[in-house]
Structure 1
Amino acid sequence: MKIITFAIPSYNSQDYMEKCINSLLPGGEDVEILIVDDGSTDRTGEIADDYAARYPGICRAIHQPNGGHGEAVNAGLRNAQGIYYKVVDSDDWVDPEAYVQVLSTLKRLVRQGTPVDMLLTNYVYEKVHENTRRRMVYSLLFPQNKVIGWSEMKHNIKGFTILMHSVTYRTQMLRDCGLELPKHTFYVDNLFVYVPLPHVKTLYYLNVNFYRYFIGREGQSVAEQTMIKRIDQQLRVNYLMIDSVDPWKVTEKHLRKYMLGYLEMITVVTTSMAYLSHDKENLEKVRALWRYMKQKDRRTYMKVRYGIMGSAMNLPGPTGRRLSVKAYQLTRKIMKFN
């Protein structure tokens, strides 16, 4: 029985994917490592096949036509045999000491008959080009080392969001909620985290720095100029988040508040990219996004529009937009999210 399946979406990753794979191998027979070659044109597929040959029963290579990050995640989920499922991007890695604790915790929960829907762990922004690190810790939000429900969430602090790097989901729960990420779209990690949340009934916070998130590679999707160029994909994800979950059907008030805050943050990022682009067409696109949200559900719109971050993004005129961008840039500097 595999405790956890790690999916590694890999597209032209030959220069860095081995560090990622090697960091996962110490899990041994308890883990399954799915290296998803997403239509690469370099040696990525060859490297994946080599690991599958050298570590049979642990590593598997999946080759598919290019479908983007989301389709690679989908392929991993379709093929996963582990009780739990985690995505590790091919330029990231996991911490060895935290890895031991993660596996031990998941094995214990399964053995006790209390497998939770979501394991939450810390992650670290590794800004290698600046030689800096930033730990994202959830101890202010959740009690540690116990099985809980959303009602036991301690605080809702905007900006402290649950990201793909911090979640390990129960595989069957992801399948039961019908998660299917869109093809050829960046930023689908927000959907991966957001859509399953109403289906998460039990969670466990383990206060270890498990995931190491590399920032600084040229052309990386979270780089500001890259995000501006891909604003249409950011918009697509934003619309899908609005359409995929009705927060007012989420009965647990702590979770509903959190999800509204998450939607607010993503909408603010989308709006900020349009402002930073100084492009009239992009400005109209984000105005259309806000109008769509208002027409879709006025209650959701009011919560997002008049939240702390949402209000800052909707100051009137060019001066208001400049102040909005300054607020976004200050938040980015403090949180170090790109």
Structure 2
Amino acid sequence: MPNFEQTSPAAAYDIEAARAAFPIKTISVTPAGEGHKVISFGIPSYNAAKDMDHCISSILEGSKYAPDVEIIIVDDGSQDETGSKADEWEARYPGIVRVVHQENGGHGMAVRAGLREAHGTYYKVVDSDDWLDASALSTMLTILRGFEERDLRVDLFISNYVYEKVHEGTHTTISYRMALPRKKVFTWDDIGRFRFDQNLLMHSLCYRTDVLRAHELPMPPHTFYVDNIYAYVPLPNCKTLYYADIDLYRYFIGREGQSVNEATMVKRLDQQYRITRIMMESYHLYEDVPQEKLRSYMMGYFTMMMAICSVFTKLSDKPGIDDELTALWGDLRAYDEKMYRKARHGVIGWGTNLPGKMGEKTTIGMYHLASKIFKFN
């Protein structure tokens, strides 16, 4: 994920202020026919001049410059040539590329801006330092166009993504072959079990635009890790799904200062806490989510977020950070006792909160081993 500017990293999340500063206005999706857009790709961009050309080109070339594809570049108050380069792309490909210039608000506000302006039936976020595989994109577009031709409503399109460690020359594919049905429209009742490394992340998701607009996306400004909210909060509103076993999204890993870099995550632990609290307070899962398999998946995802907070608290030397973690777990228990028990007393919760110095070393060691195996940072 690109390194979005952090003008007020410690600020509490104020949803009303975010709505006022970065509103999501209602725009009707363009009806089928002349000018119709089957998909809008939102590209949040902050100081992205070095990387954005590859990202944009991958979508244009992979879609064969199709007129039913829309690319919305959101220049999030960049201080380099991002804005002018975005304008050049729009001038070269009018009707396909559009540009939004806004004051810096962070990744979440850039995602919201793209959604606000989208005319496509579907909306997918592609970060400016990532890219899409051409063959997989062609397949995706064929499938989405088929949905529209048959007037078939699909709320969520899922595909694989690939961790690309360019500097090491390695890559790791995250697929959902054992967890999701293939080549059919399905519901949450049809899903299988997800491994802990198999969460549905922003990179794997393409929502119907109207699903995202129908409910508030509580994306705080000037905060990293909002992609977890994007990949979690809308799920109960998705009634029909489709999984394409294609390696579409190429997720660049390894840039110094990247948000998933271990040292960066320790430094921004307060933001990880903030995102986890927002996810916690989005649902009483065992009351609000009736689909048992979806509830189980979301509980697993949320448990992983609590585990990340626990692990990185152990990696941090910030004074008082242990008390902050204790408060987070206490707040979860007060909010929802059942969610607390599932998160804290399951295998992952137990393994990431081992007591004492030896327990701390064991937890950190297990985390580093998992990182080497699954290549997630």
Into which bin does the TM-score normalised by the smaller protein fall?
A: over 0.9
In structure 1, which of residues 307, 313, 325 is the aligned counterpart of residue 346 of structure 2? Answer: 307
SS in 2 for 1:209: strand
Q: State how far apart, in whole Å, the 2-side matches of 1:83 and 1:269 are.
A: 34
| Larger helix share, 1 or 2 | 1
Is 1:141 matched with 2:176? no
| Matched-pair contact (CA < 8 Å) for 1:32–1:58 | yes
1:171-320, aligned counterparts within 5 Å?
171-248=209-286, 249-320=288-359
Distance 1:47 1:145 in 2: 39
Report how many residues are paired.
338
Q: Which residue of 40, 46, 52 corresponds with 1:11?
A: 46
- Offset of residue 106 of structure 1: 0.5
Contact 1:156 1:257 in 2 (8 A): no
What is the CA–CA distance in structure 2 between the aligned matches of 1:277 and 1:131, rounded to whole Å? 30
Among candidates 155, 164, 171, match of residue 193 of structure 2: 155
Q: Which runs of 5+ in 1 are unaligned?
A: none
User: Aligned AA for 1:222?
Assistant: V
SS in 1 for 2:67: helix
1:6 maps to a residue whose letter is F
> What is the alpha-carbon distance in structure 2 between the residues aligned to residue 217 and residue 251 of structure 1?
41
Q: TM-score, normalising length from structure 1?
A: 0.98
**Whole-angstrom distance in 2 between the partners of 1:139 and 1:7:** 27
The code of the aligned residue for 1:3 comes to V
For 1:75, what is the secondary structure of its paired residue?
Answer: helix
The SS at the match of 1:129 is coil
Letter in 2 for 1:220: Q
When normalised by structure 2's length, the TM-score is 0.88
Distance 1:79 1:336 in 2: 35
Is the CA contact (8 Å cut-off) linking 2:121 and 2:210 kept in structure 1? yes
Partner of 2:133: 95
**Cα deviations by residue, 1:296-330 (Å, 9 ceiling, x for unpaired):** 10000000112221110121112111111112112
Q: 2:361 aligns to what?
A: 322
Q: Deviations over 1:172-193 (max 9, x none)?
A: 0011122241100000000001
Distance 1:244 1:48 in 2: 35
Give runs of ≥4 in structure 1 deviating > 6 Å: none
Matched, 1:40 2:75: no
Give the CA RMSD over aligned residues: 0.9
* Identity score, percent: 48
- Matches of 2:105 and 2:157, distance apart in 1: 28
Could you list the runs of 5+ residues in structure 2 that have no partner in the other structure?
A: 1-35
